[in-house]
Amino acid sequence: MLADPYDGAETRSVAGGQSACGPLRLMAVHAHPDDESSKGAATMARYAREGVQVLVCTLTGGERGDILNKAMDRPDVRANLTAVRRAEMATAREILGVRQQFLGFTDSGLPEGDPPPPLPEGCFALEPLESAARPLVQAVREFRPHVMVTYDENGGYPHPDHVKCHQVSVEAFEAAADPDRYVGCGDPWQPLKLYYFMTFHRERMMALHEEMVQRGLESPYADRLANWAERETAGPPPLEVTTRVSCADYFEVRNRALLAHATQVDPDGSWFACPAEVQRVAWPTEDYHLARSLVDAGMPEDDLFAGIREKVSL
């Protein structure tokens, strides 16, 4: 059995010979700094405070991100955007109570135009899959997560770095246990479950919209809901929500982590148009789609570690 570099607890057999070590470990894989605070942040905050070890892997530094908060659109910020965004990330991870590491790739930017311009040379989205996945495979083998969370095949939205993030996350999940692949990246380790974030699905948005209308508040979701059917017809069918993690007590923590990314998040912007109290009442969970699993767990789930928790000593 593999020794656990993070804890001295004994290992226990889980699935197919896999060894799982206490405490529980969760890895969230994201494209840019700030993504971790807008997708699954309350879940991470809850688990971290319950004793789960949580690691955020941030694939790029967000170097080509726009400055979306007018108050931060200053020459000194633009001239040092990489350092500013790293400092924002450091604050956000402290607020969430998680570990975080950058994996060293360069932000691809979001190409705009018809047709869109080519991606810049050397950016993350243009990296060959094996070289793009190698640092993540090494991180998986070092941290040994029981569960990984990331984006679906469309990236959550079609940013080239988000799509690439999905691809390398799946590659790492499937390859990290194979000793003949990614040689030199550490001892093999097999995560047991892989989830996709389901942050902006229609059922949640409708519930928030209806609660705001009932309270006499202006809903920021009306236009988006009105055009939802057209968007679903044009795209792939939506994934099923398999797992809902109760984390309403941590919505304010999530908001504080978002606000730490001051270049990316306007405190008067759309992220905060729906009050946390409305969210706690109308939709007190963060939601996921179980994409891969090596353990048996009944559906629907209310825990990312369902089927794992009882097999791992805390």
pLDDT tens track, the chain, 314 positions: 233 333 333 333 344 334 445 699 999 999 999 999 999 999 999 999 999 999 999 999 999 999 999 999 999 999 999 999 999 999 999 999 999 999 999 999 998 888 889 999 999 999 999 999 999 999 999 999 999 999 999 988 889 999 999 999 999 999 999 999 999 999 999 999 999 999 989 999 999 999 999 999 999 998 889 888 666 666 678 899 999 999 999 999 999 999 999 999 999 998 999 999 999 999 999 999 999 999 988 899 999 999 999 888 54
Query: Helix 129-143 to helix 160-175 angle, to the nearest 10 degrees?
Result: 60
CA atoms of 40 and 165, how far apart (whole Å): 16
> Taking the CA of residue 199 as centre, how many other CA atoms within 13 Å lie in the half-sphere pointing to its CB?
18
Q: Which of 307, 311, 288 is CA-nearest to residue 148?
A: 288
Peptide bond into 23 cis (omega under 30): yes
What is the structure's pLDDT at 15? 40
What DSSP letter does each residue of 81-149 carry, written as one string? HHHHHHHHHHHHHHHHT-EEEEEEEPP-----SSSPPPPPTT-GGGS-HHHHHHHHHHHHHHH--SEEE
pTM of the model: 0.91
Which element (helix H / strand E) includes 4? none
- With DSSP H G I counted as helix, E B as strand and the rest as coil, what are the percentages for the chain, rounded to 5? 40, 15, 45
- The span from the CA of 303 to the CA of 218, in Å, is 33
Q: Which amino acid is at 296?
A: D
| The predicted structure's pLDDT at residue 41 | 98
Cα–Cα distance for residue pair 219/235, rounded to 1 Å: 25
- Structure-block tokens of residue 172: 């790492």
- pLDDT at residue number 229: 67
For helices 251-260 and 81-96, angle between their N-to-C axes, nearest 10 degrees: 160
d(CA 278, CA 209): 9
Q: What are the chain's domains? A: 24-199+286-311 (3.40.50.10320)
Per-residue pLDDT reduced to its tens digit, 213-224: 999 999 999 888
Yes or no: say if 289 and 214 are a contact pair by the CB < 8 Å rule.
no
Identify the sign of the CA torsion 95, 209, 149, 18: positive
Distances (CA, A) of 140 to 23, 56, 232, 240: 15, 11, 34, 26
Q: Do the Cβ atoms of 212 and 274 come closer than 8 Å?
A: yes
CB 99 within 8 A of CB 55: yes
Q: Are 168 and 136 in contact (CB under 8 A)?
A: yes
